[in-house]
Structure 1
Amino acid sequence: MVQNVILVFFRRRLSQRPAVEELESRNILKQRNDQTEQEERREIKQRLNRKLNQRPTVDELRERKILIRFSDYVEVAKAQDYDRRADKPWTRLSAADKQTQSGPPGIAPELALIRTVVPSTGSDTEGAERVQEQRDGSSFIKQASDKVPPALARFLL
């Protein structure tokens, strides 16, 4: 009983489908012809080959200054290859070390000192320059420049 119902359902569906001739007449289904398909493929290949042959080569593009390398504008130095994954010293730091060090040893205090020091500007911008006065009357710039290590002092003047 159930099989008969299913068969009737599918027969109705199949009978509603258009025939192959009808689809071909509406140009929905292409008529299969191996020779014409091969000719179309040959034409497409020839067209693509012509386009590829007309493309300029890399040397021609460089001559016309169309293809430019990064190294033509920027001096590129040779660098030694090394494994960047090898050593990660920050993974060996304990929690106490991380609290005491805010960066590589010796650099953090100098950077903090440089940030506090305002370099002197030219005489034409003195009106716009701010100098923080200390309680004793000396300027902050003069006081901080006395504490700067000699190697960094040349960058501040």
Structure 2
Amino acid sequence: MPAVRRLDLPPVWLAAFIVLAWVQARLLPLGLSLRSGVVDLLGGLLVGGGIVLMALAITEFRRHHTTINPHKTPVALITSGIYKRSRNPIYLADTLILAGLILRFDAVLSLPLVPIFVWVIERRFVLPEETRLRRIFRKEFHRYETKVRRWL
């Protein structure tokens, strides 16, 4: 696998967006602030919720003995556990973590990074993964996608 392909993974994108938000908060706050106990609590809850969601999703991957790498071909379609509620709980978890950290960093100008991150993840990973799942699991995936929403 080429080096660029190895780096084109959701955690790398998440880390890049987190670094952007952190740098913005430190170097370009422009006097904008949402800092309060409530916002800090909300940020912590979002990060914590994202971590729990991710753990639940990873548990399902392990249970089904299939790959978590979005570039590899899965051997099973996961429709159990948290995947009964969201087709993409790990990406949803990534989004919650990013939003929570932006709030914790008090990086007000970085709030637009959240929808941009969702857009990047959807284009780079979700759509190609769903195409692959449609090709491999045909009817089963069709039934699944009609019952379970992509994000929430």
How high is the TM-score relative to the length of structure 2?
Answer: 0.24
> Which structure's relative contact order is higher, taking Cα pairs within 8 Å and 6+ residues apart?
2
Higher helix share: 2
| Structure of larger gyration radius | 1
